[in-house]
Amino acid sequence: MSWWDDAGSDGDEDEPYGQYDESSVRVRPNPKGNRPRTKTRPAYEDAPSGWVTNVDRGRFGVLVTDEDGEHVITATKARELGRKSVVTGDHVSLTGDVSGDEGSLARIVRVAERTTLLRRSADDSDEVERVIVANADQMLIVVAAADPEPRTRLIDRYLVAAFDAGLDPILCITKTDLADPTAFLAHFACLDLRIVTSRADDFPLEDLHELLDGKVTVTVGHSGVGKSTLVNALTGSTRAIGVVNSVTGRGRHTSSSSVALRVHDGGWIIDTPGVRSFGLGHVQPENVFRAFASHAIPVLPPRDDIPLPQAHDWEIVDRVAAGELGPTGIERLDSFRALLTGMGAHDPGSD
């Protein structure tokens, strides 16, 4: 006897299971219950709000204000956010345990619309952008007068990123006791930049506090320029301070992630990791030219009653190239155009 005869076959070798039908099959119950899933999600209309102060391996520090005052809680991203990123500076809505007690964990269920967004890419040809900070008001560009040597083109990249993000740039020159920054600053004479200088024995804290008060400021700078030293002096933080390699002239990375720190006399600083490159693959050229024009000094008289920042890109290029902003204006515009064409963007000056 074959094995199917033993199982109750009718003997037809072509249909060994002839005595069975669908009713003989045992259906396993749904382990999650028989109630159908719904796509309706909670609205979280009364969810408490917070402000993201730091991001660390899938955990978020969130500043929450309640009847007991301010405190930072730990939160994770809710599944309903999907692939939407959460970055330092985001305003978010929360659910779960927002007490901040040891071991407590809340969930971020909603990210508010961002007013500004600072981004960079791995290089100029990379279309994948990396969001650094959201909702900042201004950018503090920290550069050393020496050790390491200042890089004009890197500052231009920071300026382009600030213009594109809608941030007001501030240029802070450190280590002026090692070198005179006058020649370096002359490169930016055509731009209406707020400039602060500092020495190892003289930090301009009063000037900086005035600029930072009531603002959210993101700091950027090459590794080893003294950015962490400056942030520590302004906030009382104990962030690690790096040194410059005597052989390569490069600084060592001391910050691994962006973190928001409260400034002593008001405002917030978001300290970012030091970088040696700043890709601009995400930048829209028209934003750069109009922002460049809006920061140019002296303010050029309008043509056809159209102010320069509202003019067409080609007109901005033509007027600056004609020397209306002087030689440094031509130098900076040429530098910006080189950056944009290098990443494959259209150069309106070539039309």
Question: What pLDDT digit, counting tens, does each position of 82-129 carry?
Answer: 888 999 999 999 999 999 899 999 999 999 999 999 987 766 666 666
- Could you tell me what percent of the chain has a pLDDT over 70? 77
Task: Please tell me what DSSP assigns to residue 311.
Answer: S
Alpha carbon separation from 109 to 39, 93, 168, 181, 294 (Å, rounded): 15, 6, 31, 48, 38
Task: Please tell me what DSSP assigns to residue 253.
Answer: P
- Each residue of 306-338: pLDDT tens digit? 777 778 888 888 888 888 888 999 999 889 888
Task: Please state the pTM of the whole predicted model.
Answer: 0.79
How many whole angstroms from its chain centre is CA 306? 33
Q: Which residue has the higher pLDDT, 131 or 188?
A: 188
pLDDT mean over 29-46: 65
Distance CA 119, CA 139 (A): 12
- 233 touches 208 (CB < 8 A): no
Distance CA 138, CA 211 (A): 10
What pLDDT score was predicted for residue 249? 43
Q: How many other C-beta atoms lie within 10 A of the C-beta of residue 229?
A: 19
- For residue 126, give every residue at least 6 positions away whose Cβ sits within 8 Å of its Cβ, in sequence order, or none: 279, 281
Q: Which residue has the higher pLDDT, 315 or 343?
A: 315
